[in-house]
């Protein structure tokens, strides 16, 4: 389980993110997450379903990722959504028995090609 913050470079928006990760193979996981952004007006959120391939093992684990994204926007009463792909990389730095720090960089290949940075705290359940 993870909770963190996202920053969208194109939109200059900060968001609060919550997610999870499930390993179905030793180095491959599925990591869904939801982010609620905080624009000055309107609403903006995104839902991601990413697959991660871990390249290293140990206390610091690097991964490459790709997946799907869906973005919802409500600006001045006009609602629209867009669907696209995610590509990126990140790492998990385990600093305690059940806690890790997770920085992640990704680009969302949708209408506006958003570049995102996420910094999250992971609580390891198993």
How many structural domains does the chain have? 1
CA–CA dist 76, 119 (Å, integer): 30
Among candidates 28, 29, 35, which has minimal Cα distance to 70? 35
Q: What percent of the chain has pLDDT over 90?
A: 84
Q: Which residues pair with 84 in a beta bridge?
A: 69
Predicted TM-score (pTM) of this structure? 0.91
Mean pLDDT rounded to a whole number for the chain: 94
- Say yes or no to pLDDT of 111 above 90: no
* Host domain of residue 67: 2-123
pLDDT digits (tens, 9 = 90+) for 39-82: 988 899 999 999 999 999 999 999 999 999 999 999 887 898 99
CA angle 106, 110, 113 (to 5 degrees): 55
Predicted pLDDT of residue 21: 96
Q: SS3 sequence, the chain?
A: CEEEEEEECCCCEEEEEEECCEECCCCEEEEEEEEEECCCCCEEEEEEEEEEEECCCCCEEEEEEEEEEEEEEEECCEEEEEEEEEEEEEEEEECCCCEEEEEEEEEEECCCCEEEEEEEEEECCC
Looking up residue 38, the CATH number of its domain turns out to be 2.40.160.20
């Amino acid at each position: 389980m993870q909770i963190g913050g996202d920053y969208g470079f194109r939109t200059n928006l900060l968001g609060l993110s919550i997610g999870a990760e499930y390993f179905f193979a030793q180095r491959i996981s599925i990591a869904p997450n939801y982010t609620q952004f905080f624009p000055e007006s309107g609403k903006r959120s995104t839902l991601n379903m990413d697959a991660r391939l871990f390249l290293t093992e140990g206390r610091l684990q690097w991964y490459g990722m790709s997946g799907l994204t869906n973005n919802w926007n409500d600006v001045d009463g006009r609602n629209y959504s867009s669907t696209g792909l995610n590509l990126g990389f990140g790492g998990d730095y385990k600093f305690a028995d059940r806690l890790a720090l997770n920085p992640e960089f990704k680009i969302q290949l949708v209408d506006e090609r958003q570049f995102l940075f996420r910094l999250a705290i992971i609580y390891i359940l198993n």
